[in-house]
Structure 1
Amino acid sequence: MNERRSTPSSSSAPDRRHRRRSGGRRGGGARRRRGVRSRLLWAVLAAGAVLVFAGGLALREGGEAATDRSAGPAGSPGPSASSAASARPGPRGAVETQKAETTEKEKERTDGTEGAGKVDPGSIPSSGPGTFATAGGGGERVGGSGRTLTYVVQVENGIGIPARDVAAEVERILADERGWTADEIVGFRRVSGGASDFRVRLATAGTVDTICGRYGLDTGGEVNCNVGQDVMVNLKRWLLATQYYADDVTSYRALIINHEVGHFLGHGHEGCPGAGRPAPVMMQQIKGLHGCRTNVWPYDAEGRPVTGPAVG
């Protein structure tokens, strides 16, 4: 029996190829879409990670800026832990106390005596070169209408005290209304050169002993003297005073100047006039008060002389 084989028509093959090509394009498009979605997902995740890292870095830098606002310019070292701690503000009272203490220390350093009354005795030189620096300038005349006594102020070289500071203190003492000018006769004027009536000389104990010893006086490394035209001031006494004036060194300096200038004016030693009364300035108070009260002026505030019995 003859069977007729059916063969695909020429139109069916292109249809299958078309379907295959169509199916291939649909599959490739799906893969591409999945690839795009995957890349988008990774991009989103990566962007999130960058944002998280940047946020953490910003927080870190912000924290450092908040805790160290005193840092210097870029590249310069910041303050140490100790300096940062010292920069923290404390209670107002503590700050004011610290300022007061600082002011007091600065005052001591600029006093010209390196902290009068608070000096270590062992730090005071016992001897020097025996040469002197004279304070420059000059002062106005002070005192009464009688003779004017001129004087210079000198400080031994190498003791660390400016002559100008000592001169200012001596001028203040001799100009005081309770001083020797209270008699309304004697007057004083400081000069810096030429001839002068007397010299106030601040020197080490060794130099004082040497100069005073030339006139037969034994100052023993402890006391002051007046010999010839020299009012010799022992550096030790100038800085430390004595036991009776240990808390008021400035007053004791007035006693030194008034006592030794008193000798230059011709006054001798005096004793205590009575218990509870002020000690005369010509009394050797370093040897004891003998019942008297401390006093450093030859006259009182009313212009009356403070005297006592003469001591031979």
Structure 2
Amino acid sequence: MNAHRSTPSPSSDAARRRRGRRARRRRGGRPPFLWVGLAAGVVLLLAGGLVLEDRTQGSSRGSSDAAGAPSASERPASREAVETQEAKKDEPGAEEEKETEKSPDPDSIPSSGPGTFATAGGGGDRVGGSGRTLTYVVQVEDGIGISARDVAVEVEDILADERGWTADGEVGFRRVSGGTSDFRVRLATAATVDDICGQYGLDTGGEVNCNVGQDVMVNLKRWLLATQYYADDVTSYRALIINHEVGHFLGHGHEGCPGAGRPAPVMMQQIKGLHGCRTNVWPYDGEGRPVTGPALG
């Protein structure tokens, strides 16, 4: 028996097409034009992101230059400022001007004071050989505008120098600030020095230093101005003052120049002239040999 095949109607064809579209949607299918649209959108988004990133990085780089380093217009100015400062340091006469400013006006140095003293506080370590130890205090006359502590530091350095009196290995020094002491280093005005030295029959004439009893008297004028032979090296002359007067305290007398061109002994009265000798402020040389001259009466 032959099977009967019916002819589909238009309505049934439309139904089949609708069912096919629903099936494709359930399987995730998309019409071709939708894929093209989605791809174009992705390209636009990526391009926009790259532009935004480039602008952001450009802005960040500008902030780093501003915060981390000077701009090109600032850098030459900075170099110019440094070069100007260096040039000023190297200008001829710059050091001389600095030294001139430090040098006091002789008329500004007080010639008299109250005759009372301030003692430098603290104390120092013992310096010198294994022999006897001499203790001392450092005092500065009141009202002269100089720190007793500053003077004490200089005196300590002078007495501790290997070219000083400790080079013989028989004497040592130690600074103290109270109690009993073997001697006193006293910085004072000319009038006060004249008064104290005069009590022992010495005439210092407002100009020089002395050692009387336990006092090493230092004339303020000499401490600040030195003498003509040490006008450019006041610090060295201070060493000469201390070594000369402490030398007297240790029992050394005056000495003369040992010969032209030789170093002047520290016990020579160099303020009165060098007599052919070279300036010298230490009782011993760098090799530990005493610098001496003929004894004077």
Whether TM exceeds 0.5 here: the answer is yes
Partner of 2:140: 155
Once residues 104 and 144 of structure 1 are traced to their aligned partners in structure 2, the CA distance between those partners, rounded to angstroms, is: 39
Letter of the structure 1 residue corresponding to residue 274 of structure 2: L
Q: Using the TM superposition, give the Cα deviation of residue 97 of structure 1 relative to its aligned residue in structure 2, in angstroms.
A: 5.0
Cα 1:175–1:89 shift into 2, 3 Å: same
Once residues 265 and 135 of structure 1 are traced to their aligned partners in structure 2, the CA distance between those partners, rounded to angstroms, is: 23
Q: Using the TM superposition, give the Cα deviation of residue 234 of structure 1 relative to its aligned residue in structure 2, in angstroms.
A: 0.3
Once residues 152 and 91 of structure 1 are traced to their aligned partners in structure 2, the CA distance between those partners, rounded to angstroms, is: 49
2:201 to 216, 220, 226: 216
Partner of 1:268: 253
Once residues 99 and 162 of structure 1 are traced to their aligned partners in structure 2, the CA distance between those partners, rounded to angstroms, is: 30
State the TM-score, normalized to the length of structure 1. 0.66
Letter of the structure 1 residue corresponding to residue 233 of structure 2: D
Partner of 2:4: none
Once residues 123 and 87 of structure 2 are traced to their aligned partners in structure 1, the CA distance between those partners, rounded to angstroms, is: 39
Once residues 261 and 100 of structure 1 are traced to their aligned partners in structure 2, the CA distance between those partners, rounded to angstroms, is: 41
State the TM-score, normalized to the length of structure 2. 0.69
Once residues 154 and 147 of structure 1 are traced to their aligned partners in structure 2, the CA distance between those partners, rounded to angstroms, is: 23
Partner of 2:160: 175
5+ residue gaps, structure 2, are 1-76
5+ residue gaps, structure 1, are 1-86, 109-113
Once residues 173 and 288 of structure 1 are traced to their aligned partners in structure 2, the CA distance between those partners, rounded to angstroms, is: 23
Once residues 120 and 138 of structure 2 are traced to their aligned partners in structure 1, the CA distance between those partners, rounded to angstroms, is: 6
Q: Does residue 1:233 correspond to 2:218, yes or no?
A: yes
Partner of 1:200: 185
Once residues 172 and 286 of structure 2 are traced to their aligned partners in structure 1, the CA distance between those partners, rounded to angstroms, is: 19
Q: Using the TM superposition, give the Cα deviation of residue 98 of structure 1 relative to its aligned residue in structure 2, in angstroms.
A: 5.1
Q: Secondary structure at the match of 2:173?
A: strand
Q: Using the TM superposition, give the Cα deviation of residue 89 of structure 1 relative to its aligned residue in structure 2, in angstroms.
A: 8.5
Q: Using the TM superposition, give the Cα deviation of residue 99 of structure 1 relative to its aligned residue in structure 2, in angstroms.
A: 7.0
Q: Using the TM superposition, give the Cα deviation of residue 119 of structure 1 relative to its aligned residue in structure 2, in angstroms.
A: 1.1
Q: Using the TM superposition, give the Cα deviation of residue 95 of structure 1 relative to its aligned residue in structure 2, in angstroms.
A: 1.6
Partner of 1:125: 110
Letter of the structure 1 residue corresponding to residue 221 of structure 2: K
Once residues 182 and 263 of structure 1 are traced to their aligned partners in structure 2, the CA distance between those partners, rounded to angstroms, is: 16
Q: Using the TM superposition, give the Cα deviation of residue 189 of structure 1 relative to its aligned residue in structure 2, in angstroms.
A: 0.1
The percent identity for this pair of structures is 86
Once residues 261 and 215 of structure 1 are traced to their aligned partners in structure 2, the CA distance between those partners, rounded to angstroms, is: 17
1:2-21 alignment runs, 5 A limit = none
Q: Using the TM superposition, give the Cα deviation of residue 92 of structure 1 relative to its aligned residue in structure 2, in angstroms.
A: 2.9
Partner of 1:134: 119
Q: Using the TM superposition, give the Cα deviation of residue 90 of structure 1 relative to its aligned residue in structure 2, in angstroms.
A: 5.2
Letter of the structure 2 residue corresponding to residue 173 of structure 1: I
Cα 1:128–1:97 shift into 2, 3 Å: farther
Q: Secondary structure at the match of 1:259?
A: helix
User: Could you list the per-position Cα deviations for residues 118-166 of structure 1 after superposition, in whole angstroms to 9, with x for gaps in the alignment?
Assistant: 1110110000000000000000000011110000000000010100000
Aligned alpha-carbon RMSD (Å): 2.3
Number of residue pairs matched by the alignment:
217
Q: Using the TM superposition, give the Cα deviation of residue 91 of structure 1 relative to its aligned residue in structure 2, in angstroms.
A: 4.7
Partner of 1:92: 82
Q: Does residue 1:186 correspond to 2:164, yes or no?
A: no
Once residues 293 and 244 of structure 1 are traced to their aligned partners in structure 2, the CA distance between those partners, rounded to angstroms, is: 10
Q: Using the TM superposition, give the Cα deviation of residue 104 of structure 1 relative to its aligned residue in structure 2, in angstroms.
A: 7.9
Q: Does residue 1:246 correspond to 2:236, yes or no?
A: no
Cα 1:137–1:244 shift into 2, 3 Å: same
User: Could you list the per-position Cα deviations for residues 53-82 of structure 1 after superposition, in whole angstroms to 9, with x for gaps in the alignment?
Assistant: xxxxxxxxxxxxxxxxxxxxxxxxxxxxxx
